Chain A
Amino acid sequence: DAGITQSPRHKVTETGTPVTLRCHQTENHRYMYWYRQDPGHGLRLIHYSYGVKDTDKGEVSDGYSVSRSKTEDFLLTLESATSSQTSVYFCAISESLNNEQFFGPGTRLTVL
């Protein structure tokens, strides 16, 4: 998975609790992305980062925040998890704007 790890790989939590997912890369790529994958929707972009401390919203950013304090780490936080955020979350990286994205192994999150 191109030097990308995600943690945790599985998590079950309760509605209203905060959750943080971590993406770690060893490729020193500039761009990092968080997607969610749901049946019938493919992959949808939540947030992305184009450098340390540089982040922006994607198409489904409501209820999510991100932080990138180091090149290698991109954190996704659900401040107060809801059942609609039950999904599989994928991190992706790309070296430049040459369009190739490499995906991590994913985190399966269940919000009860």
Chain B
Amino acid sequence: QQQVKQSPQSLIVQKGGISIINCAYENTAFDYFPWYQQFPGKGPALLIAIRPDVSEKKEGRFTISFNKSAKQFSLHIMDSQPGDSATYFCAASMRLGNFNKFYFGSGTKLNVKP
């Protein structure tokens, strides 16, 4: 079963608007929650990440909100720009023996219209 559920699949936002992408998980052993940004033809790139001991992390226009009790976390992109148009993946990881196992959401394709 899918360990990390991501929504929506696609999102259209006007320039200057707020983009919100949501993820939910079940396994409370997860201890690291990154978001990746991927442009066509490129590999995913780490955008921002959070650990469950904090409820929010902000880096520039990007904010992660984390709700431990609800087992949900979300990415907010403030003042969205056309250059933000990309596919975004959430992920969750946990330590399994000798490595960190990552589980990825299915991705959200964001289109920011000028």
* Residues of chain A having any CB pair with chain B under 8 Å: 1, 4, 31, 40-45, 48, 50, 56, 90, 92, 94, 97, 99-106
Contacts and interface: CB of A to CB of B under 8 A. Distances in A.
B interface, over-half SS: strand
A101 B104 CA distance: 13
Contact of A102 (B42, B46, B106): B46
A101 B42 contact: no
Given A1-B42, A4-B43, A103-B36, 15 more contacts: A42-B89, A42-B107, A43-B44, A43-B91, A50-B98, A56-B98, A56-B99, A90-B44, A92-B43, A97-B99, A99-B34, A99-B49, A100-B46, A103-B43, A105-B42
Contacts of A103: 36, 43-45
B71 interface: no
B104 A99 contact: no
A104 B43 contact: yes
Contacts of A97: 95, 99-100
9 contacts: A1-B43, A43-B44, A43-B102, A43-B104, A45-B101, A56-B98, A99-B34, A100-B46, A101-B102
A8 B32 CA distance: 32
Contacts, number: 55
Interface of B: 4, 6, 32, 34, 36, 41-46, 49, 89, 91, 93, 95, 98-102, 104-107
Given A1-B43, A104-B43, A99 B93 contact: yes
A interface, over-half SS: strand
A8 to B, nearest CB: 14
A106 B39 CA distance: 12
Of B34, B46, B102, B106, most A-chain CB atoms within 10 Å:
B102
A93 to B, nearest CB: 11
